[in-house]
Structure 1
Amino acid sequence: MPAVPWWAVFSAATLPVLLVIGWTSAAVRQPPGYDPWADTVSALSSYGMLDRQILVGCLAGLGVAHLVTAIGLRPVRTAARVVYGLGGVATILVAAVPKTDGQTPRVHGISAVVAFVALAAWPALATLPVPGRGRSGHRQGASRQDRPGGTAPRRSPADQAADRPWVLRPAVGGAASLVMLGLGLWLALQLPDGGSAGLAERLIAGTEALWPLIVVSVLFRWTRRRPTTAPG
């Protein structure tokens, strides 16, 4: 299994930090009428809000950190990394095209939806096995001598899952994606006039920022206890 580089751990660790600093600092600067439980995080970056550059900068940094972390997740299937990276790019677009007073630009809205869905879907995609890998991340071709005729032994999905860290097992990744998608559905039901839109957005954004840090931390330790192989 390819090793996770140190810079991916660093970028993943900045995700929750940037998110909390951004929405907390920007909210503190607003007049008393701002309600963090009802008003969305995106509203803090809209034109007319005080010190909107705080959240714009943090959102842009958040998107870049997601993208860098996706590049560093070498043990994860390429499809999952692409979807995760797409979520980072969409987050950058959310910051680049902020809301206006009372209106949401189409690019902002579409980018926000793509970001939330991509960042929620990649944990489930990450549980798919990397093609060409057998036990403990080694290429299956290396074990062909174990069977007559040079054929690699077939292993059950349960055995293959047991050889992977717990964050890449289908039950865990699938549950993480379902939780995030469920929070996203709750957010969609709260918009545009729901009384808990701010709370729902903060919960889903926080979950989508914490999960990459958990995955990278586990894989960083896992890959350093096992021999590395070239990506498949």
Structure 2
Amino acid sequence: MPAVPWWAVLSAVTLPVLLIIGWTTAALRQPPGYDPLADTVSALSSYGMIDMVILMSCLAGLGLAHLITAIGLRPVPRIGRIVYGIGGAATILVAAVPKVDSHTPRVHGIAAVVGFVGLAAWPAAAVLPGIRRASRARDRADPAATPGPDRPWVLRPAVGIAVALTMLGLGLWLALQLPDGGLAGLAERMTAGAEVIWPLVVVLTLLRRTRRHPPAPT
């Protein structure tokens, strides 16, 4: 199994840090009427230029960190990395076309949906090749070709599908809260939080595995 490069580990660690810094710094600057449970993160950028710069900078950094992590996740099947990378690129686009004065540009809305879906669905996409190989092995009645317990737990089909469904469920909850739901802010924070924590879990798990079982020299 190929190793996870140091820069992918760094970008994965950066994800939750950037998210917390962006939310906390921007929220502390808001007027008394701001409600973090009801107002979305995008609404933070509509209170002033400084707030918009703070939030959009963190959001752009978040998307870039997702993209770098996707490139560095070498042990993950390519389809999973592509879906993950699309989510990161869409997050950068969300930052490039911000919400201003309560007006949401269409590009911002579309990019936000693509970003949330990509960042939520990639754990399931990453295990699809393993599911297909297992299915072909069963068709050939070849138990030796079926993926065994040596597969990292973060890349096992049951785990990947469960994580993806959980994050997609959080995204659906967010969609139901928009535009006037009373818990839209909470739903968005929980969804984004899950989407930055899981890549870090995957990276650290794969890093530990490659340290315990170094790849054979070529």
Same-fold status (TM-score > 0.5):
yes
**Superimposed CA distance per residue, residues 29-82 of structure 1 (whole angstroms, 9 cap, x where no aligned partner):** 011111100000011123636522111110000000000000000001101101
- 1:177 aligns with one of 164, 169, 193: 164
Q: Distance in 2 between matches of 1:3 and 1:54?
A: 34
Quote the RMSD (CA, aligned, Å). Answer: 2.3
Q: CA deviation at 1:224?
A: 2.4
Paired residue secondary structure (2:128): coil
Q: Distance in 1 between matches of 2:156 and 2:88?
A: 23
- 2:147 aligns with one of 160, 164, 184: 160
Q: Distance in 1 between matches of 2:79 and 2:3?
A: 18
Q: Distance in 2 between matches of 1:157 and 1:44?
A: 54
Q: Does 1:195 align with 2:182?
A: yes
Residue of structure 2 in register with 1:221 after alignment: 208
Number of positions where the alignment pairs a residue of Structure 1 with one of Structure 2? 211
Paired residue secondary structure (1:75): coil
Q: CA deviation at 1:127?
A: 1.8
Q: Does 1:64 align with 2:64?
A: yes
Q: Does 1:111 align with 2:76?
A: no
Residue of structure 1 in register with 2:6 after alignment: 6
Paired residue secondary structure (1:162): coil
Q: Does 1:212 align with 2:199?
A: yes
Paired letter, 1:45: S
Identity %: 72
Q: Distance in 1 between matches of 2:184 and 2:59?
A: 18
Q: CA deviation at 1:102?
A: 2.1
Task: Say if 2:63 and 2:90, in contact at 8 Å, map to a contact too.
Answer: yes
Paired letter, 1:106: R
Q: Distance in 2 between matches of 1:74 and 1:130?
A: 15
Task: Say if 2:43 and 2:102, in contact at 8 Å, map to a contact too.
Answer: no
* TM-score between the two structures when normalised by the length of structure 1: 0.85
Residue of structure 1 in register with 2:137 after alignment: none
Larger relative helix fraction: 2
Residue of structure 2 in register with 1:141 after alignment: none
* TM-score between the two structures when normalised by the length of structure 2: 0.90
Q: Which runs of 5+ in 2 are unaligned?
A: 135-139
Paired letter, 1:175: A
Of residues 46-55 and 180-189 in structure 1, the stretch that sits farther from structure 2 once superposed is 46-55
Q: Distance in 1 between matches of 2:216 and 2:184?
A: 45
Q: Distance in 1 between matches of 2:144 and 2:97?
A: 44
Task: Say if 1:76 and 1:130, in contact at 8 Å, map to a contact too.
Answer: no
Q: CA deviation at 1:228?
A: 2.2
Q: Distance in 2 between matches of 1:161 and 1:105?
A: 48
Q: CA deviation at 1:198?
A: 0.1
- Note closer, same or farther for the CA distance 1:157–1:69 as it changes in structure 2 (3 Å cut): farther
Q: Aligned runs of 1:82-121 on 2, under 5 Å?
A: 82-121=82-121
Q: CA deviation at 1:222?
A: 0.8
Residue of structure 2 in register with 1:19 after alignment: 19
Task: Say if 1:2 and 1:229, in contact at 8 Å, map to a contact too.
Answer: no
Q: CA deviation at 1:210?
A: 0.3
Q: CA deviation at 1:229?
A: 6.3
